[in-house]
Chain A
């Protein structure tokens, strides 16, 4: 695979078929939208009914039913980090890649929800690109994290991961009957406030969504959570409400975030927001007592692999249902 290839359908036009049956089915299954964390049993959804697929002792999962679009989310690899909280982030990423390559159904693509690098350095982006090429999938879709936007904004990130050459760090594409959107919500930093999407990107989002039927499932990728989890640590997007207002008319919206290095979720009407585990190091829980800042947490030996992991996302075509399975490296 080519790490920087966002695919030929990037920014492609949208002509999704309306699906009147979708909404009711989606409502019936709303309770199934939860993420399954640390699962010893993998779940999937087919026909609106969640089914345990079973997991072998080695952690191998059974194949998903036909007609399912399956992709994998990884996040916060922080290539270049090497301190006490995880002296071997490359090893952690390689373990995740081995898990992805062992999936019974090859993922259609992999998404990386930001903080690819630790310091935005060219050698870190380059090393990450080389590592991602070990993933057996067709494409990698990335969004920048704030660690990818130090010094020169997203210029260095775009040199390594901005395949379309438009100099833009946001995009959309259609696959498997769903509309995917990648956003950059790590810039426009102002002292004392949370990051933002910015007016230019919001205008683009509005125009992009104007061509999408409301029955089309929408999947949004963005690094920082699109809801405020803990403002004192910058765990939120200051203009997220403007983006969510544009997404609310859609029958099924799934937002996949990173940044906080732990699984959290929020379901608000038809919008489900999920953060993912990191592949570098754990962070404290929001506002955790005794830890006054969101710095890397060094855990006792043997525990790190339980706090790092990947997420498999499956979408049954025509139903707008997404099943999320979070799988730690150690299980």
Chain B
């Protein structure tokens, strides 16, 4: 029997929604945030403890990934194609911004 189109779409959506939430596993999960057009993509991210998040700068100008309080996120200036990674071990909400362009902001929600 041919699967119903709507069901197929719903299943695809479910899969897409489920994707950012890594399944518990021995190896640490990894998530990438793209910096492009003076914005973090996605600007808001929810991960489990133990997840390594990597920011990659795709702009021609430098950006930083910096916690509002100075830690735990404290990247150096990221030139084009530079990366910065941080593994979140504790649950919490981690807001960050770009010190070069303080109107850029993002947040990582770490949830059990």
Name A residues whose Cβ lies closer than 8 Å to a Cβ of B. Answer: 81, 83-85, 118-121, 146-147, 150-151, 189-195, 232-234, 292-296
Contacts and interface: CB of A to CB of B under 8 A. Distances in A.
Interface of B: 37-39, 59-62, 64, 68, 76-77, 79-80, 95-97, 99-103, 105
B38 A293 contact: yes
Secondary structure class of chain A's binding surface, majority of residues: loop
27 contacts: A81-B60, A83-B60, A84-B60, A119-B62, A146-B99, A146-B100, A147-B62, A147-B100, A150-B62, A150-B64, A150-B99, A189-B97, A189-B99, A190-B102, A191-B95, A191-B97, A191-B102, A191-B105, A192-B97, A192-B103, A194-B102, A195-B102, A234-B101, A234-B102, A293-B38, A293-B39, A295-B61
A161 B72 CA distance: 31
A295 B101 CA distance: 11
Given A119-B79, A234-B101, A296 B62 contact: no
A119 B80 CA distance: 11
Contacts, number: 61
Secondary structure class of chain B's binding surface, majority of residues: loop
Nearest to B102: A189
Lowest 6 A-B CB distances belong to which pairs?
A293-B38, A191-B97, A150-B77, A83-B60, A189-B102, A119-B77
Nearest to B77: A150
Nearest to A118: B62
Contact of B102 (A83, A120, A193, A295): A193
Contacts of A194: 102
A87 to B, nearest CB: 11
A194 B104 CA distance: 11
Given A146-B100, A292-B38, A151 B60 contact: no
A151 B76 contact: yes
B64 to A, nearest CB: 7
Nearest to B61: A295
A264 B33 CA distance: 36
Given A147-B100, A293-B37, A294-B38, 13 more contacts: A118-B61, A120-B77, A150-B77, A150-B100, A151-B77, A191-B105, A194-B102, A232-B103, A234-B101, A234-B103, A292-B37, A294-B101, A295-B37
Which of A118, A191, A232 gathers most chain B CB within 10 Å?
A191
A245 B100 CA distance: 27
